[in-house]
Amino acid sequence: MSGFRGERVDIGGRSLRVVRAGPAASQHPLIVCEHGAFGCASDWAVVQERLAARGLRSLAYDRAGLGHSDAGPEPRDGRAINDDLEALLGALKEAGPILLVGHSMGGLMVRLFALERERSLVGLVLVDAVTPDVFTLPGGPAAVHGFGRVLKAVSHGARFGLMVPVSLVSGNLIGLPAAVAAEKRRIHASAPHARGAAAEVMQWPRTSEMAGAVELPADLPVAVVTAGPHKGRAALKAIQEKPASRSRAGFVEHVAPATHANLLGPRYADAIVRGVEHVLQAGSR
């Protein structure tokens, strides 16, 4: 498969694409990177490279139905997604503690994982992440439902190649290295990817309800890294900060010049690394 990075891992009759980086053996916990809506493992290439340079081991993967991963059973809500992640970690024989990093809608997935799973968890890094409280913002529910309708339309159009020209723009808003950017453009042009993304976004309200059922434990280290200035988005910034503010080992960094996408790119990825390092240090105390 042209442009394929990483490996496909069988999780019980279907496979997920996984990209691992960093030392094969490390005393540090495994860092698991969860991408956002319409995203894929490619999004984390720069962050994974920066983590590896610090001797940290990381894993990014395409969720079921996205990128190079097989589709999974519906509904594609956060609980089903986390079932897949559990199966993936089991297939890779990763029994040790993990640190979860979630971008955008991936923030809901990692929050839900922290609330419902028994696996040893060092902490969370929420990267310009969606929180359950987005539904309390004026226009929040309408925006989420509108996004879902747009992705459903995109998934239909992608069958006829309509996403190919769009992917030339959408495929590298992050600022990925050339080879990874080409990989992501191919993924963004794919009809199965669009269908998989739409299936997840249609379950966004349900996933948000599950992830917001209770608060995160106060003793769980949480780092929050956000993009964009405070001006005009103070309410959004406040709900993004909330998980770190409630944590006894919280960390917040606002990267005002960054966008939602290029926060993961070469100019600003070090802010995410700082969040990871904070959680690792807090978790080792």
> Model confidence over 187-208: pLDDT tens digits?
988 888 988 998 999 999 999 9
- Joined tokens for residue 229: 């200035």
Average pLDDT over residues 212-216: 95
Helix axes 191-202, 140-158, angle to 10 degrees: 160
Q: Given a cut of 50, is residue 151 above it in pLDDT?
A: yes
- Joined tokens for residue 33: 């990177």
Q: How many CB atoms lie within 10 A of CB 278?
A: 22
CB 131 within 8 A of CB 107: yes
Q: Which residue has the higher pLDDT, 154 or 76?
A: 76
28-71 pLDDT per residue, tens: 999 999 999 999 999 999 999 999 999 999 999 999 999 999 99
* pLDDT the model gives residue 165: 46
What single-letter DSSP state applies at residue 201?
H
Q: How many CB atoms lie within 10 A of CB 100?
A: 27
* pLDDT the model gives residue 1: 41
Average pLDDT over residues 98-108: 97
CATH of 7-283, one of 3.40.50.1820, 3.40.50.2000, 3.40.50.300, 3.20.20.70: 3.40.50.1820
Q: 138 CB contacts (<8 Å, ≥6 apart)?
A: none
pTM of the model: 0.92
Closest CA relative to residue 147, chosen from 185, 203, 220, 101 = 203
Give SS3 for 186.
helix
Q: What is the mean pLDDT of the chain?
A: 90
